[in-house]
Amino acid sequence: MTTTRTTSTTGAASTATTTTGSTAATAVERFDERARRRVGGYGRTVVREHELLRHPVYTRVLHWSVAIFFVLAALSGFAIYSPWLFHAVTPLFGGGPMTRFLHPWFSLGFVACFALQFLNWLEAMTWTPDDRRWVSNMKEYVGNSEMLEPEYVDFFNAGQKLYFWAIVFSAIVFLASGVPMWFPRTFGRVTVDIGYVMHDLAALLMLGGFIVHLYEATAAQPGTFRSMTRGAVAHRWAWTLHPAWYRRATGRDPRADYELAARTPPRPQSETNLPQLP
């Protein structure tokens, strides 16, 4: 029989190394932990045998909130920006004037949700010497020349961290440039004109990163997408892509488990009640 367990209070922040730093850091941790418990009370994460908890309810809610607000902000923004999209997209939001009205609110929703995600993932996204090693070997990762990630790759690899910090930077520019555009009479023409340029550049950077992120989470790394739907991932996925995290979460050697799985032929689904690992 397949065993299951439910949980909703652990995740990226709790799997990263605990920091005992400043009072501000402690306050952030307490806020984030309260938020995880409160949101986790409205849902559950089922972790089956041969699976690990990857993202709890709170993280998944934030992730999809950020994604939804980003898509809405991007669609409404490009509709306003591009005449050839105006007639096709603005009817989705109730017409041109309503699109102009909703766009800054969609953008504020994106920034607010991402700010919470920033707090949730800040510790796990901290740059380490191992990340520099990963970047120096990025060519192998992009070319898929290696089946397994290096043993030092933890909860997030350096590519994911670079994307995260690129979005942090872009979101700050996005907000700082968007406010003058929202209140042009207050900030003046020069500031607004500069805001238009910076706003467009930040939006394009985030859109490019979003497309790459979507590809990496689906076609490039099968099994990744369900970590943000179900919240759990297969052991095979963990020891392949995040071996250091797998070692900490299970206490097992990821390379030894990989080699054992490679030597063991998979049993037909009819002979076992356990789900086959992807």
In a domain, 271, yes or no: no
Domain residue limits at 88: 4-263
In a domain, 105, yes or no: yes
What values do phi and psi take at 206, rounded to 5?
A: -65, -40
Amino acid identity of residue 185, one-letter, is R
In a domain, 90, yes or no: yes
Band (pLDDT 50/70/90 cuts) for residue 12 is: very low
pLDDT at 90: 94
**CB–CB of 7/47 below 8 Å?**
yes
Q: How many CB atoms lie within 10 A of CB 43?
A: 14
In a domain, 172, yes or no: yes
pLDDT in tens, 182-221: 999 999 999 999 999 999 999 999 999 999 999 999 988 8
What is the tally of structural domains in the chain? 1
% of the chain at pLDDT higher than 90: 67
Amino acid identity of residue 274, one-letter, is L
Question: Between the CA of residue 121 and those of 15, 156, 184, 190, what are the distances in Å?
Answer: 11, 10, 34, 36
The CATH number covering residue 196 comes to: 1.20.950.20
Q: Can you name the residues that pair with 47 across neighbouring β-strands? A: 5
For residues 9 and 21, give the distance between their C-alpha atoms in angstroms, rounded to a whole number: 22
Mean pLDDT over 251-275 rounds to 73
pLDDT at 244: 96
- Asked if pLDDT for residue 272 goes beyond 60, the answer is no
In a domain, 272, yes or no: no
In a domain, 275, yes or no: no
Tally DSSP H helices, then E strands, for the chain: 13, 4
In a domain, 127, yes or no: yes
- Asked if pLDDT for residue 131 goes beyond 60, the answer is yes
pLDDT averaged over every residue in the chain? 85
- Asked if pLDDT for residue 156 goes beyond 80, the answer is yes
For residues 278 and 276, give the distance between their C-alpha atoms in angstroms, rounded to a whole number: 6
